[in-house]
Amino acid sequence: MKAGWETVIGLEIHSQLATRSKIFSGAATAYGAEPNTQACLVDLGYPGVLPVLNEEVVHMATMFGLAVDATVAPRSVFARKNYFYPDLPKGYQISQFELPIVEHGELYISDAEGKQKRIGITRAHLEEDAGKSIHEGLEQNSGIDLNRAGTPLLEIVSEPDLSSAQEAVAYMRKIHTIVRYLGISDGNMQEGSFRCDANVSVRPVGQEALGTRTEIKNLNSFRFVEKAINFEIERQIEHLEDGGKVVQETRLYDSDKDETRPMRSKEEANDYRYFPDPDLLPVEISAEYIESVRQQLPELPVAKQRRFVDDYGLKPDDADLLTSSRALADFFEAAASATDAKTQLVANWVIGDLSGALNRDGLDIADSKVSASELAGLLTRIHDNTISGKIAKQVFEAMWDGEGTADAVIEAKGLKQITDSSAIEAVVDEVIAANPGQVAEYKAGKDKLIGFFVGQVMQATKGQANPGQVNQILKAKLGS
């Protein structure tokens, strides 16, 4: 970013809650069904129908509130946000306005210097999603799919505490991790289960008043969030430096062109005429209820990371990586508990070879072809010197390809390490005999050649000789 300017960003994250049925009706929420097959009369806004709150969303919002150290409101109120749009069946969206269920939360991210930075969470409120308008493939007509109408959302609004696109992404990732840890959202961004609007403004360094902000709507990947915000920062600064003014408006990010463009102004000239929804009672939450939810909260990322450092002696960065998802952390812990190998070795393998293989095959940790106990079996064989770390990689690949457990692969391929000194000595003797020139050079003082001899021995044993022993025996024989 250009010198002399600073950026102020706030995010509104929409996280779809992982309930089986909708927030105000019994219709299913599963993604990808045929259009309008998961919309009941309530979702269609038929005359006379009434909303009934799905209690599960209150539980989920409470979990979220506790996870970000927020206040869970003893009383929150659903309100109607009135506007006309074909994919909004009732002509209003049921949301929360003046009294949201969660307020005053916070979390910490690492800023550019690696320091912990507090990001305030203004509020999180419950609301229903709208349907979808479909324009493609319908000549001169628009279609409406109301399967998504009434899907529960938690809208999480941050304070304008974020100062760069990187911080915005770091914050969004933290929220993403939290909702998945809690199991309240699948966080699937391709399916739109986790998306955000970014409010961006710039101001000259030192200026106290905020600049005019624009809102970039509907960003559904971390990469797009970063690119869209960066584009918008540059655009605003350039515009202001040219003597222009930033117009407060809603913009859309076009990922193909990597730019933001204003939405038609008509779509934002709304007065939503919020008022409490008379069809729904206020949501009342007792202190006992909040306490019981707190008791059931899973261990959260920050606590887990700290525990991994303290209890397993892991490097903080590795602990961070391993706790980025609950499934990965669970995998690590399951593997670590099933082997005597050093925990750092387990961490290295989970972060390294295992994550590499998952990425390569585009798999989720839950679908890993090598289970935690199978990986533990492999690491045990490194630990007890049955195989070297190098051979282990070969064994791992075979396991990944479905050739069986570590022991089965080692057995089948004869990869067991040679630790019998007399066997190694015999090979060393052969190597010395076969390379008289190098032996002479070594003896003349060219110590580096030891590597050559080790290599020859390992080659002759197909890597199975214990490297420590090879070194020792070579030095003894060549030195004499």
Partner 1 sequence: MSAAKLEMHAQSMSELAACLDRGDFTSVELTRTLLDRIAKLDEKLNAFITVTAEPALAAAARADKARAAGDGGMLNGLPVVHKDIFCTRGVKTTCGSKMLNNFISPYDATVVEKMADAGAVVLGKSNMDEFAMGSSNETSFFGPVRNPWDLARSPGGSSGGSAAAVAARLSPAATGTDTGGSIRQPAAMTGTVGIKPTYGRISRYGMIAFASSLDQAGIISRTAEDAARLLGVMAGFDERDSTSIDRPVPDYLGGLNESIKGLRVGVVRQHFDAGLDQACGDRVKEAIAVLESLGATTVEVDLPNLDLSVPTYYVVAPAECSSNLSRFDGVRFGHRAENAKDLLDLYCRSRGEGFGDEVKRRIMTGTYVLSAGYYDAYYLKAQQVRHLIADDFKQAFAAVDVIVGPTAPSPAFKLGDKMDDPITMYLNDIYTIGANLAGLPAMSIPCGFVDGLPVGLHMVAAHFGEEALLRCSHQYQQATDWHTACPEDFK
Point out which residues bind partner 1 (CB under 8 A). 41, 44-53, 80, 82, 84, 86, 89-92, 144, 271, 273-275, 278-281
Using CA atoms, how far residue 43 sits from 14, 149, 473, in Å, is 20, 6, 79
301-312 and 165-182 helices, crossing angle to 10°: 80
Q: Are 279 and 53 in contact (CB under 8 A)?
A: no
Q: Note whether 57 and 19 are within 8 A (CB).
A: yes
Task: Give min distance, CB of 318 to partner 1, in A.
Answer: 50
| Cα-Cα-Cα-Cα dihedral sign, residues 335, 340, 342, 343 | positive
Nearer to partner 1, 27 or 335 (CB): 27
Nearer of residues 91 and 316 to partner 1, judged by Cβ: 91
46 or 75: CB nearest partner 1:
46
> Is the separation of the CB atoms in 317 and 308 below 8 Å?
no
For partner 1, which is the closer residue by CB, 48 or 362?
48
Dmax over Cα atoms in the chain, in whole Å?
100
Of 41 and 363, which CB lies nearer to partner 1 in the complex structure?
Answer: 41
| Rounded distance between C-alpha atoms, residue 428 and residue 432, angstroms | 6
Nearer to partner 1, 89 or 160 (CB): 89
- Please give the structure tokens belonging to residue 116: 């912990």
CB of 38 to partner 1, least distance (A): 16
The one-letter amino acid code at 12 reads: E
Q: How near is the Cβ of 12 to partner 1 at its closest, in Å?
A: 20
Interatomic CA distance for residues 28 and 264, integer angstroms: 33
Q: State which residue, 47 or 137, has the beta carbon closest to partner 1.
A: 47
Q: Shortest distance, CB of residue 272 to partner 1, whole angstroms? A: 8
Residue 99 CB, nearest approach to partner 1 (Å): 14
Nearer to partner 1, 52 or 303 (CB): 52
Tell the smallest beta-carbon distance from residue 23 to partner 1 (Å): 12
Minimum CB distance to partner 1, residue 402 (Å)? 51
Cα distances from 75 to residues 23, 57, 58, 102, 282, in angstroms, run 18, 15, 11, 10, 6
**Closest CB to partner 1 among 35 and 463?**
35
Give the DSSP H/E element, type plus range, for residue 94.
strand 92-96
Radius of gyration for the alpha carbons in the chain, expressed in angstroms and rounded = 30
Instruction: Find, among 391, 373, 369, 371, the residue nearest to 382 by Cα.
Output: 391
Q: Work out the number of other CB atoms within 10 angstroms of the CB of residue 19.
A: 19
CB of 280 to partner 1, least distance (A): 5
149/431 with CB nearer partner 1: 149
Q: Which two tokens stand for residue 277?
A: 């929804």
- Minimum CB separation of residue 89 from partner 1 in Å reads 6
Helix/strand/coil for 214: strand
- Closest CB 217 distance from partner 1, rounded Å: 19
Residue number, 31 or 275, with CB nearest to partner 1: 275
Q: Is 425 exposed, middle or buried (0-12, 13-18, 19+ CB in 10 A)?
A: middle
Enumerate residues 6+ apart whose C-beta is below 8 A from 38. Answer: 27, 28, 29, 30, 147
Smallest Cα–Cα separation from 123: which of 163, 150, 96? 96
What's the min distance (Å) between Cβ of 150 and partner 1?
14
Report how far residue 147's alpha carbon sits from residue 150's, in angstroms, rounded to the nearest whole number. Answer: 8
Please enumerate in sequence order all residues whose Cβ is within 8 A of that of 211, keeping only pairs 6 or more positions apart, or say none.
Answer: 8, 201, 202, 203, 236, 240, 246
